[in-house]
Amino acid sequence: MRNIFDTHSHYGDRAFDDDRAEVLAGLPGKGVRCAVLVSCSVKDTENNIRLAGEYDWIYTTAGFHPEYASDAEEGCVSELRKLALSSPDVRAIGEIGLDYHYEGYDREKQIKLFCDQLELAKELSLPVIIHSRDAAEDTMRILREYRPEGVMHCFSYSAEIAKEVIKLGMYIGFTGVITFRNAKKALKALAEVPDDRLLLETDCPYMAPEPYRGRRCDSSMIAHTAARAAELRGMDTQALLDMTCRNGMRFYGIEEKSGAENNHEEKL
């Protein structure tokens, strides 16, 4: 396989502390053309900018994850703005959104942080990466208000919500979850996504597809996710990888050079 574009990864995670450089060095030889390191806090953004700067095929984002909203200090969005402007490798604001999964969350603080970062994305003309778990109503209400260019990552909602996300002009990203035996809901949502709005991701080190479920995930495993999506859509797996690679490059504003397939050209 070639032209694997991992649109959502977390290689700064501690799960890669022992062999991060080795893992990343091996991915281009496994068909990975591009990966985006998605940030969850100010510190994570700083670390991801440094890591992305070491590889010509890795980009990153600036953002504060809703699960950590309680740790967000006054002025954190201003810090994210400075970081986003500090490097051309920053291609989006994310991951941002709402997460009501765990008890004790602060709904109002999450909503404020979400909206502040949507305003930042608008100011900087950057797309957004949306994290939404057990918070569909509030998420969709806010997205209808702001109408950002963005992606709903690791999509876990219904086909009906997928249709609404698409109507807003957004992309939808799917992980290895679509390969699981109990993935009926995700597969129904996938069927509603037009070809030009589909993105593939790992959310690594999490969400490894079958036959690697439960193991640490990396970008090369997208080949299995792509095979399942291609089967559902009646496509060749490589054709689907080529298509989602083009979609990822378009979404993140990465120019595709003629004859550059699977080559890791210098960053623009």
Residuewise pLDDT in 10s, the chain (268 residues): 999 999 999 999 999 999 999 999 999 999 999 999 999 999 999 999 999 999 999 999 999 999 999 889 999 999 999 999 999 999 999 999 999 999 999 999 999 999 999 999 999 999 999 999 999 999 999 999 999 999 999 999 999 999 999 999 999 999 999 999 999 999 999 999 999 999 999 999 999 999 999 999 999 999 999 999 999 999 999 999 999 999 999 999 998 643 334 444 445 4
What pLDDT is stored for residue 259 in this prediction?
35
Q: For the packed helices 184-191 and 159-167, what is the interaxial angle rounded to 10 degrees?
A: 30
Q: What pLDDT score does 260 carry?
A: 39
The per-residue pLDDT for 33 is: 98
| Full DSSP string of 60-106 | EEE---GGGGGGPPTTHHHHHHHHHHH-TTEEEEEEEEEE--STT--
The DSSP H or E segment spanning 42 is helix 42-52
Rounded to two decimals, what is the model's pTM? 0.94
- Tell me what pLDDT residue 7 has: 98
Q: What domains can be seen in the chain, in order of their start residue?
A: 4-252 (3.20.20.140)
